[in-house]
Amino acid sequence: MERMTTPRRGPGRPRRADQRATPDVIIEAAAGLFARRGFDAVGMREVAAACGVDVATVHHHMGTKAALYECCFARVFAAESEALTRAVATAREGLAAGPGPAMAALHELVDVFIDFLEDRPEVTGLWLRRWLEPDRHAELDQRYSEPLYRAVEQVLAEADAAGVLSEPQPHLAVRSLVWSVHAHVVGLLSGANGARQRREFRAFAHRWLDRMYPPPA
Amino acid sequence: MERMTTPRRGPGRPRRADQRATPDVIIEAAAGLFARRGFDAVGMREVAAACGVDVATVHHHMGTKAALYECCFARVFAAESEALTRAVATAREGLAAGPGPAMAALHELVDVFIDFLEDRPEVTGLWLRRWLEPDRHAELDQRYSEPLYRAVEQVLAEADAAGVLSEPQPHLAVRSLVWSVHAHVVGLLSGANGARQRREFRAFAHRWLDRMYPPPA
DNA sequence: CCCAAAATCCAACGTCTGATGGATATTGCG
DNA sequence: CGCAATATCCATCAGACGTTGGATTTTGGG
């Protein structure tokens, strides 16, 4: 048979060591597509084409389409959890050293969060879609997202109890800033002049922190 | 033939005066479905079933599915524009009366915005999906959404120029609060205990305004 | 009363979707 | 080498999708 069209990945080639494993390639490509266009707008054939394999291969590794979607969510949220729990722990340590270092620790936490999201904009796409379809990812929320945000809110509550800062509704404040950062990333995805936008938004985020958490009188 | 199953709306019944016109029924049902689940997840048969008509009737009145979607967006954004341009004009009038009335006018504007979104939660669903699929609604954005937000930002810029308040990036501040309100509405859609959530968030929004726009030194 | 226009439903078309069975090729191990 | 396990592709299925043509019924004006 004539199969001269790109025989780079012939039929049947398991365990190649030089490249990444096929499931990883599939998950990354699918996560990007799902983040950009949503679950229903992305077809399995499109995912397969994006990583240069057949549809049956995607099904062989990932099972059903919903399983692939959940796999993308788990990977993305795990990465976010890994990147932020460290920064949250650092911020909690800074709280013990008084108001000055406490605010510095919170600023550092904000920087880590912005850095992470600007580096992986697809997280924002999946994160927002999670909010729009809450019943679809309830289980993943409980495993990844909610503990992380609870930890951040707990840091703020501890800071409030220690008299370092004051905000009666720390979870609303956290949510406000978190959504602002996601909005910023969404704007980056579609708009031009990214460098200036990033600089201005980062300055705004720190100004937001300084104003929303003034030193307690 | 036997057509005993719910002959409430038999074949061919134009111009009934007691109920609303059919296109309005279709647009409202479709807007709710699109806001909750997105464009691709909602089928035309589902829209038809939601308002008790046949698929062909939906197509007869609305044309293609994309046209129906744009029609829902136009109606929702027009309602938002109508509700807010009035409040924006009122806020602008308040600016001429000094720092005190200016801040009161901004608080009033925030209240109107929260009232509108809490009354029509489906606006948030469509609004967020607009951000996630920017190329699909670029034209509607230019007609409805962008002029509205530019007007709000202009009010803030005028207030800044008049020395009433100070914020170097008013559009970022507006976007931060707008996204926070939408986040609040999304939380209302899925969570319980709505009354308390509304009270707490409204207090937070006004606190946000007081802290983000302190009287200029 | 009659007739054109409008509105509604039924049945169907072609296409695309997610998912599968089976054939074939590659790997790693004994 | 030989063989089991794995991986990949091709062809295909059943169903849902958006959309349409045509028949039927109601409306409103002359």
Model confidence over B50-100: pLDDT tens digits?
999 999 999 999 999 999 999 999 999 899 999 999 889 988 888 888 777
- B76-CA/D24-C1' distance, Å: 35
CA-nearest residue of chain A to B127? A132
Using a CB–CB cut-off of 8 Å, the residues of A that contact B are 37-41, 125, 128-129, 131-134, 168-169, 172-173, 175-177, 179-180, 182-183, 186-187, 189-190, 200-201, 203-204, 207-208, 211-212, 214
At residue A44, the pLDDT reads: 98
Cβ count within 10 A of residue A113 = 20
At residue A6, the pLDDT reads: 35
Q: Which segment of A88-92, A121-125, B168-172 scores lowest on mean pLDDT?
A: B168-172
CA pair distance A214, A10, nearest whole angstrom = 62
Would the Cβ of B65 be found within 7 angstroms of any atom in strand D?
A: yes
Q: What is the mean pLDDT of residues B204-217?
A: 82
Q: Do A180 and B182 touch (CB under 8 A)?
A: no
Share of chain A above pLDDT 90, in %: 48
At residue A8, the pLDDT reads: 41
At residue A192, the pLDDT reads: 67
Q: Which segment of A74-78, A103-107, B5-9 scores lowest on mean pLDDT?
A: B5-9
Residue B10: pLDDT band with limits 50, 70, 90: very low
Q: Do A179 and B175 touch (CB under 8 A)?
A: no
Please give the nucleotide, over all strands, whose C1' is closest to the CA of residue B58.
Answer: C8
CA pair distance A135, A146, nearest whole angstrom = 15
Q: What is the DSSP string of B81-108?
A: HHHHHHHHHHHHHHHTT-HHHHHHHHHH
Please give the nucleotide, over all strands, whose C1' is closest to the CA of residue A9.
Answer: D8
At residue A134, the pLDDT reads: 74
pTM, two decimal places = 0.87
pLDDT digits (tens, 9 = 90+) for A181-192: 999 999 888 776
CA-nearest residue of chain A to B197? A172
Buried-state track A57-86, b at ≥16 Cβ within 10 A, e below 16: bbeebbeebeebbbbbbbbbbeebbebbee
Q: Between residues B100 and B186, which one has the greater pLDDT? A: B186
Residue spans of alpha helices (H) in chain B: 22-37, 44-50, 55-62, 65-95, 99-119, 122-132, 138-140, 146-161, 170-190, 194-212
pLDDT(A43) > 90: yes
At residue B19, the pLDDT reads: 60
Residue A194: pLDDT band with limits 50, 70, 90: confident
Cβ count within 10 A of residue A2 = 4
Residue A159: pLDDT band with limits 50, 70, 90: confident
How many interchain CB pairs under 8 A, A with B?
Answer: 88
**B38 vs A38, A207, A212: nearest CB:** A38
pLDDT(A107) > 80: yes
Q: What is the DSSP string of A174-197?
A: HHHHHHHHHHHHHHHHH-S-HHHH
Would the Cβ of A14 be found within 7 angstroms of any atom in strand D?
A: yes
Using a CB–CB cut-off of 8 Å, the residues of B that contact A are 37-41, 125, 128-129, 131-134, 168-169, 172-173, 175-177, 179-180, 182-183, 186-187, 189-190, 200-201, 203-204, 207-208, 211-212, 214
At residue B36, the pLDDT reads: 92
At residue B194, the pLDDT reads: 86
For strand C, which nucleotides have at least one atom less than 7 Å from a protein CB? Answer: 6-12, 16-28
Residue B115: pLDDT band with limits 50, 70, 90: very high
pLDDT digits (tens, 9 = 90+) for B123-171: 999 999 988 887 777 777 788 888 888 888 888 888 777 777 777 888 8
- B68-CA/D19-C1' distance, Å: 14
Q: Strand D: which of residues 41-60 in chain B lie with Cβ below 7 A?
A: 42-46, 55-56, 59
Would the Cβ of A59 be found within 7 angstroms of any atom in strand C?
A: yes
Residue A102: pLDDT band with limits 50, 70, 90: confident
Q: Between residues A190 and A194, which one has the greater pLDDT? A: A194
Q: Between residues A115 and A189, which one has the greater pLDDT? A: A115
Q: What is the overall mean pLDDT for chain B?
A: 84
